[in-house]
Each structure stands twice: as C-alpha cells, then as structure tokens.
Amino acid sequence: MTNLILFGPPGSGKGTQAVKLAESFHLLHISTGDLFRSELKNETPLGMEAKKYIDKGELVPDEVTIGMLSNKLDEHEGKVDGFIFDGFPRTQPQAEALDKLLELKGTTISLVLALEVPEDEIVQRIKERGKTSGRADDLDDSIIRNRFQVYLKETAQVLDHYKKADKVIVLNGVGSIEDISQALVVAISKAK
C-alpha cells in the first residue's frame, strides 16, 4: 500500500492537491475536515459536537477525531491501494493513533509531504475561499488567525514525529496549482 500524508497549515492547498494525487496514484482521499462537514450537514451528534470547535477555529478533541478516522479506515479495509490523509494527524496523539491503526492493518505511512506557505498568504487565500466555500470558519479574520496559531502551537511539531522516521519531504506551497502538483508527483515517484 501507499499511504501518504499531506501536511501543512490551513489553506496551504492540501485539499486541492490531495484530490489530484488520489486520482494519479489510486488512493482514497480522507479529509477529516470534509468528514466533519458532512456530519455537520447531516446534523449527526458527531457533527453537532465538532461544530463547537470548528466554529472557533479550535481542534476537535482527539478521541472524537480518531474514532471517526478509524471507522473510515475500517469501511475501506482491503478495497483500496492506499490512503492519502489530508488534515490528519493534527496532534501527536493522532499521529500515534494512526501508526497503531495502520500497523493493525499490516501497513504504515509511506511519505509525508509538507507544503510551506507563509501566514499572510494563508489568510488571503482562506478569505478568498470564504467567498464561495460556504464555510463560516473561512470568513472571519480572527477565526482564520486562530486556526493558524493552533497549527503553529499544536500541529507543526507533528512533523518531527515523521522526521524521526525519515519520511518527510518539504515542498514550497506557493505557486500555481499545476506546478505544485507536478512537484508532488515527482517527489512521490522518486521516493517509491
């Protein structure tokens, strides 16, 4: 199996690139953000719980997020060539849980692709996306800034977990969607 993690701050282009990579490498794209939004739309108890955090730009508690992710992996057991994780793991406990879940399935993370984008560019991009995304968390400046702060405080160091295992490739996330996609494909193909 090929299991990839797309890593980077909110608005760094993970979702856009994950969709393309999933198609190129026949992987199942799992975005925890998309999963939460789908639960929210269906007004499930999980969605209602997640909303409290998403609306503030905070992380949903680990046990909720890990449980949801674990169910998703089970649903697709044996059906796909691998996964591409987008927006997960975002904390050290999530990274450790993912290691265990994949190990139980006899597989592991192949590669972590980290997109680097500066804060000001992030805020601009998310506000632009907010005009059409219908996401309340994309419209408010202070929520967007908080999401970036949460990324720095809680998520950025998750990269060290994978650096220790020598699985990280850092790429410039500023440029055209096509150029970045190309750079990602080259990086994955080289590592294979």
Q: Residue 21 in contact with residue 6, Cβ under 8 Å?
A: yes
- Contact region for ligand ADP (CB under 6 A) — 18-26, 28-36, 112-120, 169-177? 28-36
147 catalytically annotated: yes
**Distance (Å, whole) CA 54 – CA 47:** 10
125 catalytically annotated: no
145 catalytically annotated: no
90 catalytically annotated: yes
Q: Residue 68 in contact with residue 78, Cβ under 8 Å?
A: no
Task: Rule CB under 6 A: say whether 94 interacts with ligand ADP.
Answer: yes
CB atoms within 10 A of CB 101: 15
Q: Residue 62 in contact with residue 93, Cβ under 8 Å?
A: yes
Measuring CA to CA, how many Å separate 98 from each of 22, 90, 95, 101, 108? 19, 11, 5, 5, 9
Of 137 and 161, nearer to ligand ADP (C-beta) is 137
Distance, C-alpha 164 to centroid of its chain? 20
**Distance (Å, whole) CA 116 – CA 113:** 10
Q: Tell the smallest beta-carbon distance from residue 183 to ligand ADP (Å).
A: 20
Of 145 and 166, nearer to ligand ADP (C-beta) is 145
Residue from 18, 88, 115, 161 touching ligand ADP (CB under 6 A): that is 88
Annotate each residue in 142-181 with x if it binds ligand ADP (CB under 6 A) or - if it does not, as one string.
-----x----------------------------------
* 147: Cα within 13 Å, side-chain hemisphere: 27
Residue from 20, 29, 90, 161 touching ligand ADP (CB under 6 A): that is 90
Contacts of 16 (CB under 8 A, 6+ apart): 177
Residue from 36, 39, 111, 167 touching ligand ADP (CB under 6 A): that is 36
The secondary structure of residue 94, as a DSSP letter, is H
Residues in region 40-59 near ligand ADP by CB under 6 A: 53-54, 57-59
Contacts with ligand ADP, residue ranges (CB under 6 A)? 10-11, 32-33, 36, 53-54, 57-60, 65, 87-88, 90, 94, 137, 147
Q: Report, as residue numbers or ranges, the catalytic residues.
A: 14, 90, 129, 135, 147
